[in-house]
Amino acid sequence: MKHKYVEFISDEHFLNCIENLHASYEKAKESISKNKFYKNKIDTIKLTFDTKFNNIDEKNIVETEILRQIDKSINNSIGTFHEQILGGIKGYEVGKLSGFDIKANDNTLFADIKNKHNTMNSSAAEALFQKLARYADAYKQAKCYWVQILAKSSFNEHWKGDINGKEYSHSRVFKISGDQFYALLTDRDNAFYELYKALPLAINDFLSSIDKKESKAKNSALSEIIDETKPTKRSILDQISFDNYCYYQGFDRL
């Protein structure tokens, strides 16, 4: 069957993965209330510099800060998107909280997927190596991979070296870049590139298929803050500063 998007998964599976990620975006946007926005103290000194040096008005700078918070919550969902895509390749499945992210149906491959190469500290890296080594020991035919979707280079190599002062090495534990892992599972050298090129078309098809009324999630943080400025006559940044630092000396005068 000729596929519209990529050859290594069905069009239906591709669109389902996009739908799941879209739901994560909508949930993230909807969840940013004023209280959530303030959960980590807002650096209004930096926002003041941003408005002046970048010539951005206060409303837009706050919207940018809200989007930054949304982006942080979306990063994990991007990793999940790749897991779901890869789990749709014939012969492989998603871990579903089983201790691995992707495995071969015949237990010859186990993988833990990280979206970016720098998302682990040394303790997390040590724990991951030990976990992959346990899978390799339990399944004598298995190769086990730490997958870095966005890596600093293209590679597929044994993962060995010093972690937390201990020397680690295993004949069947590897680290691999995203492009090489997609190629390994699909037997298509350019599979990751093919995914990249297909995304705009698939996303557009998905968005055109949904009722625009469904896509209505909107964070309430900025509107809540603006509503508070009406009786107080404060600027947006003054209101945020008062909300976050009213216990600091002098800030009660805002």
Q: Taking the chain (254 residues) in consecutive chunks of 10 residues, what is each chunk's mean pLDDT? A: 90 97 88 88 94 94 89 87 96 86 96 86 91 95 96 95 88 96 97 96 94 63 93 95 95 92
pTM assigned to the model? 0.84
Q: Cα separation of 150 and 148, whole Å?
A: 6
- Predicted confidence at residue 4, as pLDDT, reads 95
Residue with tokens 């998107």: 81
Instruction: Tell me how far CA of residue 147 lies from CA of 25, 79, 131, in angstroms.
Output: 24, 11, 14
The Cα 156–Cα 59 span in angstroms is 46
Q: How far is CA 51 from CA 61, 65, 102, 227, 246, in A?
A: 7, 12, 44, 21, 22
8 Å CB contact between 176 and 156: yes
Please tell me the distance from the alpha carbon of residue 85 to that of residue 210, in angstroms, as a whole number. 21
**pLDDT at position 214, please?**
55
Say which amino acid occupies 161.
Answer: G
